[in-house]
Amino acid sequence: MTLKGFIFDFDGLILDTEMPGCQAWSEQFNEFGFCFTLEDWKKAIGTGPSAYDPASHLSELTNGQLDTSLIKKQTLQRTRDLIEKESILPGVEKFIKEAHRCRLSLGVASSSDRVWVEGYLKKLNLINYFSSVSTADDVKKVKPHPELYLLTARRLHLKPNEIIVFEDSPNGVRAAREAGMFCIAIPNEITCSMDLSQANLIFSSFENIEIRRLFDLLN
């Protein structure tokens, strides 16, 4: 089958939002005298709050004395402040622009909400390269369920075996593979210590990937 499109995860793949999020929650937990570890944060990576909700966890530790909505709002703002210091991850912009020049269909499939994903894609001046952006707002089940990837494929008018997915987390890789798609994992600072063995290939960075060589993978 001929390669016709790419689908990208967002958080931790295009922009490092993962480490800022981890730091923001760590600061919040420390403020109340508790420890928030990297292992705690890993439970939330590549999926939705149903898998792990730091605010609910902190509320339990304080015997329900905290306003979880307020805690989430405060931590989100701190996360955004930290993300302001981040740049698009290495090689991502060049890769996306080259893929667009090759007339490949491009989509995003993210377990985050639309305001978050599209907001940053616009800020990074990348939004116009994507024909479809699918988020948690569009599906009943987020990753590791394959629904997000299957939806994005339909929106791109492509079959699963005509697509290569780029992911950074085990939950994302599992979702892509269960959707019947070829998946390349590009781990970040946090997910490099997680099990990405279900991916078809693993690269350390988009800088190490040549698009012309990817066309041979689906033959």
Instruction: Answer yes or no: 53 catalytic.
Output: no
Instruction: Answer yes or no: 168 catalytic.
Output: no
The rounded distance, in Å, linking the Cα atoms of 45 and 25 is 13
Residue 121 near residue 134 (C-beta atoms within 8 A)? no
Q: How far is CA 218 from CA 2, 88, 127, in A?
A: 6, 28, 27
Residue 171 near residue 46 (C-beta atoms within 8 A)? yes
Q: How many CA atoms lie within 13 A of 118 on its CB side?
A: 11
Q: Are strands 132-134 and 5-8 parallel, antiparallel or unpaired?
A: unpaired
Between vectors from CA 14 to CA 39 and to CA 81, what angle results, nearest 5°? 70
Active-site residue, from 9, 16, 138, 168:
9
Q: Helix H segments across the chain?
A: 18-31, 38-42, 54-61, 68-83, 92-101, 114-123, 147-156, 170-178, 211-214
Query: Could you tell me how far CA 87 lies from the centroid of its own chain?
Result: 15
Active-site residue, from 11, 16, 138, 168:
11
Residue 11 near residue 17 (C-beta atoms within 8 A)? yes
Annotated active-site positions, please?
9, 11
